[in-house]
Structure 1
Amino acid sequence: MNKTDFARELFNLYGPVTRARDCFLYTKKGVRITDMYQEDGRAILGWQGGSAFTHLKNVLSRGQTGSFICEESSRLQRAISQLLASDRKIFFFSDKVCAMKAAIKISQKGTSIYIPWAVPQKINSEIDCMVIAPPLPWTDTIFILAVKANLIEENSQLQGQVYLPFAMQTAITRATYNLIQAIQERSEKDWFIYDQVLTKYFERNGPYLCCKVPEKKYDDFVRFCLKLGIAINPDYNKHSIVPFGADKGVFTSLKNSPFAY
Structure 2
Amino acid sequence: MEDLLRLLPTIRRTRGNRLYAADGSRILDLWMDDGRGILGERDKATRTWAANAADKGLVHPYPGLYERRFEKAVLTTWPELGSVRVFLSEERALDSAARILGSATVPAESPCRDAEGKPAHGPGTLVLLRPFTVLPAGVTLALLRLPCPRPFAPACLAVRDSRMLDDCPGDLVPSLLLAAAARGLASIEVATTNGYGEDHWKRFDRFTAPFFDRNGPYLFARIERSRYEEFYRAALSGGALVSPDYDKPSIVPPDFDDGELKKLAKALDGVRSDR
The answer, yes or no, to whether TM exceeds 0.5 is yes
Structure 1, unmatched stretches of 5+, are: none
Q: Partner residue of 2:129?
A: 114
Cα offset, 1:166, TM superposition: 1.4
Q: In the alignment, is residue 66 of structure 1 matched against residue 60 of structure 2?
A: yes
- Per-residue CA deviation, residues 53-101 of structure 1 (Å, 9 max, x unaligned), is 1111111112222233233852111111221225424232523643542
RMSD across aligned C-alpha pairs, in angstroms?
Answer: 2.9
1:41–1:177 distance in 2 versus 1, CA, 3 Å: same
TM-score normalised over the length of structure 2? 0.78
Please, which of 7, 10, 13 is the counterpart of residue 9 of structure 1? 7
CA distance 1:72–1:176, change in 2 (3 Å): closer
For residue 51 of structure 1, give the secondary structure of its aligned residue in structure 2.
helix
2:21 counterpart of 1:27: yes
Partner of residue 159, structure 2: 147
Where 1:53 maps in the other structure, the secondary structure is helix
Percent of aligned pairs with the same amino acid: 24
Q: TM-score, normalised by structure 1?
A: 0.82
Give the counterpart of 2:244 among 234, 239, 249: 234
Q: Which position in structure 1 is the counterpart of 2:95?
A: 98
- The corresponding residue for 1:45 is 39
- Asked if the contact 2:230–2:271 (Cα under 8 Å) also holds between the matched residues in 1, the reply is no
Contact 2:66 2:179 (8 Å CA) reproduced: no
Separation in 2, partners of 1:195, 1:69: 46
User: Quick check: 49-58 or 131-140, which moved more?
Assistant: 131-140
Letter in 1 for 2:132: W
1:177 to 177, 186, 190: 186
Q: Which residue of 2 aligns with 1:259?
A: 270
Tell me the distance in 2 between the aligned counterparts of 1:63 and 1:189.
42
- Deviation, structure 1 residue 192: 1.2
Runs of 5+ unmatched residues, structure 2 = 103-121
1:250 maps to 260
Q: Does the 8 Å contact 1:89/1:148 carry over to 2?
A: no
Task: Give the Cα–Cα distance (whole angstroms) in 2 for the partners of residues 153 and 144 of structure 1.
Answer: 12
Change (3 A) 1:80 1:125: farther
Give the aligned residue type for 1:172. Answer: A
Q: 1:256 to 1:29 in 2, by over 3 A?
A: same
Aligned to 2:49: 55
> Alignment partner for residue 229 of structure 2, among 209, 219, 226?
219
Aligned residues: 249
Q: Which amino acid aligns with 2:83?
A: R
Counterpart for residue 145 of structure 2: 133
1:108, CA displacement in angstroms?
3.4
Give yes or no for contact 2:152–2:176 (8 Å, CA) kept in 1.
no
Distance 1:223 1:40 in 2: 18
Distance 1:27 1:153, change over 3 A: closer
- Tell me whether 224-233 or 126-135 shows the greater mean CA deviation: 126-135
Asked if 1 retains the 8 angstrom alpha-carbon contact of 2:32 and 2:251, the reply is yes
1:129-148 Cα offsets, whole Å, 9 max, x none, are: 33202111225984211234
Aligned residue type for 1:213: I
Q: Which amino acid aligns with 1:145?
A: L
